[in-house]
Chains A and B, each alone.
Chain A
Amino acid sequence: MAAKRVVVVGGGTAGWMTAAAVASLLPGRCDVHLVESEAIGIVGVGEATLPHIRSFNERLGIDEADFMAATRATFKLGIEFVDWGRIGDSYIHPFGTFGPGTGEIDFHQFWLRLRQQGLGVPDLDHFSMACTMARMNRFALPSTDPRRLESTFGYAYQFDATLYAPYLRAIAEARGARRTEGRIVAVHRDGESGDVVSVQLEDGSRIEGDLFVDCSGFVSLLLDKTLGEPFEDWSKWLLNDRAAAMPCRTEGAVTPFTGVIAMPYGWRWRIPLQHRTGNGYVFSSQFLSEEEAMRAIEAAAEGEKIADPRVLRFKAGRRRRSWVHNCVGVGLASGFLEPLESTSIYLIQQAITALLELFPDGAITGVERDEYNRLIDLEYDRIRDFLILHYHATERADTPYWDYVRTMEIPDTLAEKMELFRRRGRVVKYREGVFLDASWVAVYLGQRVIPQGHDLRADAPSAESLVAGMRKLAGDIQGIAAGMEDHGAYLRRYCPMREAA
């Protein structure tokens, strides 16, 4: 069988993740050729990720400490949401469970029962290993023994995306991927099938391929500009269409979590890396001008700024199909969801995983395309509802922006989920999907969606034994976290960044 010619259109995080994965995992079957232009900037700012990225790196044989040193990465145990339910509120959405993570009844049900009985129990985040470590600025790798509390948290990274792409590039090229520098000026299609045959560069040369992966970012050169795949617009629920990004020097401790702080017309991120802190104001241009947003992020960000703010533009939604003809969109070319829950790289990774598993042999048939699109839609749709929840579950009424999101009509799928939780704290269960029960519980309770009742099974134990058990659990978690190393010290020992060249 002749090797399939895979042309990756665009470098950046999506492009190099794709090239590295295809070259590593389908050796001999593919000939990978990536086209990028240094004249086109990449969107990557400071990037916060989800725990899934660890399995991606592992599959590629990447050494964690080496990767973290190269990308100046820090550990991430969750996200702290500030000012979301009400101004002054703060909660952490942790990677991990509440309680010991075992048993058929969710831990939060027992907690709800005690609260509803009027018995004093600490806030739910005292029962999360990840939340407690994050608040105390501690870090250790999780245990693999499921009986230990140290196994009840997960972690991800915060890293410099502009360094991750070159890191992957070296891997991809070492495994046979080719790279061509150049700007694409034309895309040629087969007159009969409509498939893309080649892309043409400024110098007139053409790069032919059997399968094209569109990693061209918001431009969506193949899916949108060439094939005209329609865009499903979700901006009536996810209003934000701009971000003003600005890096600063890190002041104070390097936190093992991402900060997400609600603002009058959106929210801002705070992503601590080893060498700097990324900041950005994600906002809606209906309510705030770009100039105002730049001034606002300069005023809000802590630490001395390293560069002036720059504005990125986007729209929430996804292409109706991500794989059309012989073109597969990966990353922003296929859709965009604001980075509120750090899903950008996760979505790239899921797209690549699906592509590898459904990699076509010979002619592309409908079956792999349909399955691919089904999988990608599922991911986007579930994340969409989870993001909308953050806006809708609020009591904020301080600006017209918050008035709108608080009162807007939400998708039925989300309305049903919220109503179920309000009644007795039930979370609609999925076995797969990115955000599982604990994530939903964290956001609901953190944003004041308080159930009226609880699971009746939680009434079985006596109140005294529950209260005593919870006290002990919170104490154990506190004690274990206190014995862990400081996050900054851990980084300096484990993966100190290399000096800038």
Chain B
Amino acid sequence: MREVVVAGGGLLGWSVAAALRRKLPALSVTVLPLAPPPDALVERIGSTLPSIGDFHHDLGLGEGDAVFGGGCSFRLATEFAGWTADRPPYVHAYDRYGQALGTASFHIHWVRQTRLGQTAPFDAFSAAAQMARAGRFILPQDDPTSPLAHFGFGLALDPVRYPQMMRTYALHLGAQERRGELAGVRLRGDDGFVEALDLDDGTSLAADLFVDCTGPRALLRGVLDQDFEDWSAWLPCDRLLLADAAPAADPSPLDRCIAHPAGWSWAAEARARTSHGLAYASAALGDDQAAAMLQIQSGAEPAAPVAIRQGRRPEPWLRNCVAIGDAATMVEPLEWTNLHLAHSAIDRLVAMMPDRDCAAVELWDFNRQCAAETARVRDFLALHYRTSNRTEPFWVELRQAPPPDSLAHTLRLFAERGRLPFYEDETFSRDSWLAVLLGQGVIPAYVDPLIDTVAPAESARAMAAMRDTIARLVPALPTQAQFLANAQRQPAR
């Protein structure tokens, strides 16, 4: 393998180029910086998961580069409001919730105490969830005994500066840029491999491997086939509206997702902007009505609505063309997985880079891992809908469709036993699943017998102590604005 062409000029295309140059310096990498279309969600959704920190680290980007150079700020958690009619909002942080006691995991104790009617909400036992609620932020502490040691944090990206930073970095690492518009995709006659991209200036770009970062239409990969696995039975929103409002003076590290009669809306504060959005089903809510709703929430004028079709290409990599980002998988931004899935595919591409023949067996392993990973992300998103008890037709209809088998198994096992099955390639940790399941009121009918060795009074004492420690620590921490100001004064870590 010698030459790679990356089609797509947003943050994704440049991230692919930077990763390839950094990890596989023997490859020559050329980016065709096509402007990302409005429905390329990887480019538009600013909230990201903690895995972005690992991605930057592997690329040799420090926190200072990304945060200060790329205009990012920090995010700790998401609050979900209105997803179940009769329960208070809950917070999903990327944290350890509570600590195991005796031979049983923490949530088993929490369930037992809940049954006895004597405990605080599940998120009261996560320091990051409480920090987020209080608008506070610090980096995880090194001391493993600290309750502030076990959380992860995502970044809120600046939609303008972050792609610029990534482009600069990729060029610095030796990626080439070739400007132009795509006029056609030329295939080799004998085996159907992509031979070259024809550009509008009459020239062409040949390569051994083509990476398609052109968004849902998959301008390259879509030429090879149009197979698509549709997830709309479980993820019913087919429209997205976005509106950017002025940034808050002290941006909260807590994003908010609020369920509506025909979808849900979000508000995510960042240094660069406050991003608002509304995901909805066009059959249940008109575009005008949706725009009016989002305008009221955001106080800003929404952009034109974007049609989305949730699902994935069963084989993102075929022959010598691999789709990454929205070209491979398209999901609504609930739980902010869009860029995470793309980063994960980039890591896989780097680790599995084949020879020029792109042998089927190597592609098979790449596609297998992508399939396993995206299936569980789909399950996790569908979980939010599935366990809602809202009574509007949009919500009721959706609960009538049988869930995917792996989610059905998860729900059944959890509802009856309080246990989570193991799956390979899981994006969200057990604590994340627990935060949503318990937050949405899925209380197991029966708990793990291994808890018997600890008496309920003992659980209660230990749990009160954990909660008190968190409640005492949080108010002393800086707000996000204070933290950023301090960090900027100090030399970058």
A interface residue numbers (CB < 8 A to B): 25-29, 59, 104, 356-359, 361-362, 365, 367-368, 370-371, 374-375, 416, 419-420, 423-424, 426, 428, 430-432, 453, 455-457, 459-460
**A368 to chain B: which residues have CB within 8 Å?**
416-417
B interface residue numbers (CB < 8 A to A): 1, 23-27, 58, 103, 350-355, 359, 361-362, 364-365, 409, 412-413, 416-417, 419, 421-422, 424, 446, 448-450, 452-453
User: A29 to B354, alpha carbons, bound, how many Å?
Assistant: 55
Total of A-B residue pairs, C-beta within 8 Å: 78
* Contact A460/B25 with A367-B413, A420-B361, A431-B424 known, Cβ cut-off 8 Å: yes
Is A423 in contact with B449, judged by CB distance below 8 angstroms? no
Given A370-B409, A426-B352, A426-B362: 19 more A-B contacts, CB < 8 Å: A25-B450, A27-B452, A28-B452, A29-B452, A104-B58, A357-B419, A361-B446, A368-B417, A371-B413, A416-B365, A423-B359, A423-B362, A424-B355, A432-B424, A456-B27, A457-B24, A457-B351, A459-B26, A460-B25
Is B412 in contact with A357, judged by CB distance below 8 angstroms? no
Is A456 in contact with B424, judged by CB distance below 8 angstroms? no
CB distance from B207 to the nearest CB of A (A): 16
**A455 to chain B: which residues have CB within 8 Å?**
351, 353
Is B24 in contact with A456, judged by CB distance below 8 angstroms? yes
Is A371 in contact with B449, judged by CB distance below 8 angstroms? no
**A25 to chain B: which residues have CB within 8 Å?**
103, 450, 453
**A104 to chain B: which residues have CB within 8 Å?**
58
Is B449 in contact with A29, judged by CB distance below 8 angstroms? yes
User: A291 to B362, alpha carbons, bound, how many Å?
Assistant: 47
**B23 to chain A: which residues have CB within 8 Å?**
457, 460
A selection of 24 A-B contacts at a CB cut-off of 8 Å is A25-B103, A25-B453, A59-B103, A357-B419, A357-B448, A358-B417, A361-B446, A371-B409, A371-B413, A371-B419, A416-B361, A416-B364, A423-B354, A423-B361, A424-B354, A424-B362, A426-B352, A426-B365, A430-B424, A455-B351, A456-B353, A457-B24, A459-B24, A460-B25
CB distance from B383 to the nearest CB of A (A): 17
In the complex formed, the residue of B with least CB distance to A371 is B413
User: A362 to B419, alpha carbons, bound, how many Å?
Assistant: 17
8 smallest beta-carbon distances between A and B, as pairs: A419-B361, A361-B446, A367-B416, A359-B449, A456-B24, A456-B353, A29-B449, A367-B412
User: A426 to B417, alpha carbons, bound, how many Å?
Assistant: 38
User: A374 to B405, alpha carbons, bound, how many Å?
Assistant: 13
CB distance from A49 to the nearest CB of B (A): 23
User: A344 to B23, alpha carbons, bound, how many Å?
Assistant: 42
**B27 to chain A: which residues have CB within 8 Å?**
456
User: A453 to B361, alpha carbons, bound, how many Å?
Assistant: 14
Is B364 in contact with A453, judged by CB distance below 8 angstroms? no
User: A423 to B358, alpha carbons, bound, how many Å?
Assistant: 11
User: A358 to B23, alpha carbons, bound, how many Å?
Assistant: 44
CB distance from B230 to the nearest CB of A (A): 27
Is B449 in contact with A26, judged by CB distance below 8 angstroms? yes
* Contact A367/B353 with A419-B361, A420-B365, A430-B424 known, Cβ cut-off 8 Å: no
In the complex formed, the residue of B with least CB distance to A459 is B26
In the complex formed, the residue of B with least CB distance to A432 is B422
User: A419 to B23, alpha carbons, bound, how many Å?
Assistant: 24
CB distance from A396 to the nearest CB of B (A): 26
